[in-house]
């Protein structure tokens, strides 16, 4: 089970509506997020980054 949970308004999704778990994982691990050509809204990656920064600051 996770140590902490942080809610965001939107998750990175493809144009067909699939959640881009790879992007979320890469942001959390500090890895290169790779190809975002199919992402619906680029701003969601920044939302996840902000949430990760908050979570890592609390842990």
The yes-or-no verdict on residue 59 having pLDDT over 70 is: no
Which pLDDT does position 57 carry in this prediction?
A: 87
Computed over every residue of the chain, the mean pLDDT equals 93
Query: Cα 46 to the chain's mean position, in Å?
Result: 8
Instruction: Identify the three-state secondary structure at position 6.
Output: coil
d(CA 31, CA 24): 10
In the DSSP assignment, the letter for residue 15 is T
In 3D space, the residue among 34, 29, 36 whose CA is nearest the CA of residue 55 turns out to be: 29
Contact, 40 vs 4, CB < 8 A?
no
pTM for this one? Answer: 0.86
Query: Sorting pLDDT into bands at 50, 70 and 90, what band is 58?
Result: confident
Domain boundaries, the chain: 1-59
What count of other Cβ atoms lies within 10 Å of the Cβ of residue 26? Answer: 16
């Amino acid at each position: 089970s996770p140590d902490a949970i942080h809610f965001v308004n939107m998750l990175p999704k493809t144009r067909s509506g699939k959640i881009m778990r790879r992007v979320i994982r890469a942001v959390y691990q500090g890895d290169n997020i790779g190809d975002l050509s199919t992402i619906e809204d680029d701003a969601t990656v920044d939302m996840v980054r902000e949430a990760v920064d908050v979570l890592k600051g609390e842990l």
